[in-house]
Chains A and B, each alone.
Chain A
Amino acid sequence: MIINSITKSVAKINGLSRAAGWRGLSSASGPRVCVVGGGPAGFYTAQQLLKARQDTLVDIYERLPVPFGLVRFGVAPDHPEVKNVINTFTQTAHHERCSFHGNVNVGKDVSVEELRQAYHAVVLSNGAEANRPMGIPGENLSGVFAAKDFVGWYNGIPANKELCPDLSCETAVILGQGNVALDVARILLSPLEMLKTTDITQHALNALAGSGIRRVLIVGRRGPLQIACTIKELRELGNLPNSRAEMLLGDFEGIEETLKDLPRPRKRLTELLMKAVNGGDNKAEKSWSFRFCRSPVEVLAGADGKRAAGIRLALNNLEGSGENARAVPTHQLEDVNCGLIISSIGYKSIPIDPAVPFDHRRSVVPNDMGRVHDTPGLYCSGWVKRGPTGVIATTMNDSFDTARVILQDMETGQLDLSIKKPGAQAISSLLQTRGVRTVLFSEWEKINTEEERRGKPHGKPREKLLDVEEMLQIAWS
């Protein structure tokens, strides 16, 4: 019928244009941009650059064989909806003017300078791969973990697969009151049935099945009005089956009166926190609570001197109010018995290439709206640009901002597009001579299929591969 033949003609025309090397014909002289880092910042920056001009070619380089960064490794297993952004990133990777190159370690396999030679613009979107240390004695005792590593352990970061945290103790103390701290608390307290059907790693699931943890304290330097988590995560904690809140009424003295003057997000968050003061189901076997105005000063070892058995906290006074209130330590100390300590006080970016400026005080790449200081043609987006805070939407908006700045520089001639740049061709040759083989997006998709296949018999969306060698073997099979 007419409709069928029309649809066929359209498909044929589309197919012809692809076969004719559409990409090559229309964009032979277009800007070539390189993005370092295949997480949300990288993908959102690429997306915007591809959309705004019909001639940009974007190449995304990622250290691991697998893309998506913290969407894969940071977002909690019981938040699968947040991972839906993977669909839009996949679409971007499939764009005819975009290509993904996994298994490339920028700074080691290829330098940023070499990338700058090959591309009109280079965007650093490599995020924050380290953590802020507590900087206290006993921090290296067994039983003390950075939240980044603990989350990496249950989320399948290859480097964290051997973490083997001992969960046999009764009390866990988490330092920090942001969303990562709440994620960790929730994973420690969730009934196994809730976690069994997520993409949590099997070894974490097994460890949690044998966990003795019944009580989680979430400790913060400042007061209830300064907690950094958001309301959704607090609500989830409160709704956990078989868990009750154990908050101290005294911690909320004077808070009630300030509520009416607070902006709505802070007001609702505080109200929800105060609701928890009234306890909960007394039959619940597990409990969680917030402890305020306390900073860790020492991890206390047990009898063998090797394992953490407690943590010493200094009590703080709060000076000032609102978001900028400061914690001022007093000499009062408090010891808390616990066998698991998780420090959730922030991720941290580290420099990946000595040629790139780095602000060691703030642990970010110094920049002006995404333009890296003193380095024309070099840009940054995401956590490496602004610091390691915010949700995916924050990173999205930030990446769009950087992309806009790059596009602006293309328009004004700040970026000289009349110079021909070889792009991926040159970098691929370089990598080849160095014995580095990349993982294409279609090859990641083989890893993806395999993970989904392995998850099926367990009723999980996927069973993540934990070994880089295994990932590569499957990718290149």
Chain B
Amino acid sequence: MRCEPSLSHLSTGERITNTDSMAYRTRIRSFICSSLVHPRSEMMLTRPFHKLPKLCSQSPQNGSSGSKVLVHFVNQSGMKSSVFVTEGESLLDAVIKKNLDISGFGACEGTLACSTCHLIFEESVYDKLEPTVDEEIDMLDLAYGLTKTSRLGCQVTVNCWMDGMTVCVPQEIKDQRGKQDAQSSK
């Protein structure tokens, strides 16, 4: 999983020409290569380099919008991706923007008309989330692999206090389910 490169050594206002140009060119090249493999990925190159957002882990105080929150996503095959999410974005936004490998995520594009952005949270995190509304529970009730700490990713806005949390999608069932389904008469 492609992570954002660290350019944190650049201080605010530092001009590009003052950087270590060799190291800088190497980083840009790796961007270009990874973009070819994942053409839909967010193009970091369009962001001005002199304005870098703070990492949530670096600033103890909450609330500054634009802060980056570290979130670990575990997909249907158990594969983990660790990404920095901008505070204020929803977890659905994060999955889409970072082009994470989670099959079929966010089919209805965040309009509370499906359950495909279903995520399972750690209990300590789940208990602190903003309460659900009926419409979210209506959709969650249809979700595959529903748990006591399930929420819809499109309804959860990322906050600094979530820094370091892990969210999972239900793990894919390997093979056993088929026979039962073939025989059930619905």
Taking beta carbons and an 8 Å cutoff, which residues of A are in contact with B? 2-3, 6-7, 9-10, 13-14, 17, 44, 47-48, 51, 79, 81-82, 84-85, 87-88, 230-232, 235, 264-265, 268, 362, 366-370, 386-387, 389, 391-393, 396-397, 400-401, 404
Interface pair A44/B104, CB less than 8 Å apart: yes
Report if B3 contacts A (CB, 8 A): no
Interface pair B141/A6, CB less than 8 Å apart: no
Query: In the complex, what residues of B have CB within 8 A of residue A369's CB?
Result: 175, 177-179, 181-182
Report if B67 contacts A (CB, 8 A): no
Interface pair A391/B142, CB less than 8 Å apart: yes
Q: Given contacts A392-B107, A393-B115, list 6 more A-B pairs with CB under 8 A.
A: A2-B16, A6-B32, A10-B43, A51-B103, A84-B109, A396-B116
Interface pair B108/A265, CB less than 8 Å apart: no
Query: In the complex, what residues of A have CB within 8 A of residue B103's CB?
Result: 48, 51, 400
Give the number of A-B contacts (CB < 8 Å): 100
> What is the CB-to-nearest-CB distance from A404 to chain B, in angstroms, rounded to a whole number?
8
Please, how many residues of chain B have a CB less than 8 angstroms from a CB on the other chain? Answer: 38
Please, how many angstroms separate the alpha-carbon atoms of A44 and B107 in the complex? Answer: 11
Given contacts A3-B45, A44-B104, A235-B138, contact A10 B35 (CB under 8 A): yes
Query: In the complex, what residues of A have CB within 8 A of residue B113's CB?
Result: 79, 81-82, 84
Interface pair A396/B104, CB less than 8 Å apart: yes
Within 8 A of A (CB), among B1-53: 16, 28, 32, 35-36, 39, 43, 45-46
Query: In the complex, what residues of A have CB within 8 A of residue B32's CB?
Result: 6, 9-10, 13
Given contacts A81-B113, A85-B108, A389-B186, contact A230 B35 (CB under 8 A): no
Report if B135 contacts A (CB, 8 A): yes
Query: In the complex, what residues of A have CB within 8 A of residue B137's CB?
Result: 268
Question: Contact partner of A400 among B46, B104, B112, B179, CB < 8 A?
Answer: B104
Query: In the complex, what residues of A have CB within 8 A of residue B178's CB?
Result: 368-370, 401
- CB pairs A–B below 8 angstroms (18 shown): A3-B45, A3-B46, A6-B45, A44-B104, A48-B103, A82-B108, A82-B114, A230-B138, A231-B138, A235-B134, A368-B178, A368-B182, A370-B178, A393-B107, A393-B116, A396-B107, A397-B104, A401-B178
Query: In the complex, what residues of B have CB within 8 A of residue A230's CB?
Result: 138, 141-142
Please, how many angstroms separate the alpha-carbon atoms of A367 and B111 in the complex? Answer: 35
Query: In the complex, what residues of A have CB within 8 A of residue B36's CB?
Result: 10, 13-14, 17
Please, how many angstroms separate the alpha-carbon atoms of A268 and B142 in the complex? Answer: 12
A87, A230, A397, A400: most-surrounded residue (chain B CB, <10 A):
A397
Question: Contact partner of B28 among A6, A14, A268, A396, CB < 8 A?
Answer: A6
The 7 A-B residue pairs with the shortest CB-CB distance in the complex, in nearest-first order:
A369-B178, A81-B111, A265-B141, A81-B113, A84-B109, A82-B113, A232-B138
Report if B126 contacts A (CB, 8 A): no
Please, how many angstroms separate the alpha-carbon atoms of A3 and B139 in the complex? Answer: 43
Name which residue of chain B comes closest to A399, CB basis: B104
Interface pair B186/A387, CB less than 8 Å apart: yes
Name which residue of chain A comes closest to B111, CB basis: A81
Within 8 A of A (CB), among B96-127: 103-104, 107-109, 111-116
Interface pair B108/A84, CB less than 8 Å apart: yes
